[in-house]
Structure 1
Amino acid sequence: MSGLFITFEGIDGSGKSTQARLLAETLQGEGHDVVLTREPGGSPGAEEIRALVLEGDPERWSAKTEILLFTAARRDHLERVIDPALAEGKVVVCDRFADSTRMYQGLRAEGLREVVDQLHELMIGREPDLTFIIDMDPAKGHGRAKGRGGTEERFEDFGTDLQTRMRAGFLALARQFPDRCVVVDGDRDVASVAAEVAGIARARIG
């Protein structure tokens, strides 16, 4: 029995975390066995790495070091949470996965996207069945993200330029992987976005 792996991607402040949670709640209410998780994190070891990469000065790590840290966290998450749940036929809903590394680290310097993809193929070897890319104006998303407060703002501190490049990258990714990526307009009320997401997910599950 094989489950379904659904991920949510987008720039910071796009609302993807909220939409991941709402989809998980909707599917659970409809009788599906759902695991809601996140990256970086999702397993005890990966959560420790999360603190390393999301907190502190923006220049704390180079992009190459970040790729290694994110891949290590993802491997632990995959082994301990994602693969076992899918093997049991569950629906796994994950807030970010490898596409975020392809964007946030892969676009930071020439040739790094290839490094991300090579490490992913070697150490992860799995793509989601369905990826929702929640699209949002970078300036608006960045304002939302900075307004949340908290300590996990290392990537937000790179500013709107990074978010602008990430948005373009995510839209290009959707064109590269049209069979699994769906772009959803996140600049609407939460309920409208959630209804569209749930309808697409139901169709894929059904």
Structure 2
Amino acid sequence: MNTKTKRRMIAVTGIIVIVLIVILAVVGSSGAAKSATIADALAGKYPDQKIQVTGNVVENSYATNDNVLTFAIYDKDGNPTEQLNVRYEGGVSATFGNDVTAICTGKIAEDGVLHATELVTKCPSKYENASNALTIESLLGYGESVYDKPVKVSGTVQAGSLKAAGAGDRFVLADPDSDKTLPVAFDGALSDEIAEGSSLVVTGSLSADGKFTATDVALEG
């Protein structure tokens, strides 16, 4: 092997090594996040590292400003006073709400907030018998006599009305047998099985302005 050939081999080997280093760096930076507890995240054990933290949404801790969702999570099996603040910029599932389980992936910033790039929410399926529920038409027909009184009403989720918590009315309930509809406010967690057209049984109360504030939302079963 002459000197010229050796130099070429050394140059090619050097290029290959550089390419491998770049590939490993990219793979390492985009690799799987480390699973972390809320306590460890608050203790600053993962500076500038991609982590995944699971917790339940602190009641009424969330707000949306300029398409940025902020909220706090706590460990239901740990110390409830330890709460991690989360910032997420992206589409929010309609299942998001009070006490829903939130799986947050991102990095802890210098301000101690988890800046999440991924947010997954989940909650258990829930079903309710509609045998004692009113139709929307029946509910509205009672007028003032049912204002602010606990009632159960059934209907289907109107197409295009399902929203995440904090984005206005959670959904509009439609009466499948008439043209009556009912806007529903609800801050809790919705089952991830609930979608447009789902048949629901909703418990809550009707106010004088025609708004129904729900305390419980379940799939009809």
TM range (shorter): under 0.3
Name which one, 1 or 2, has greater alpha-carbon Rg.
2
Select the structure with the greater relative contact order (CA < 8 A; seq sep ≥ 6).
1
TM-score by length of 1: 0.23
More strand as a share of residues? 2
More helix as a share of residues? 1
TM-score by length of 2: 0.22
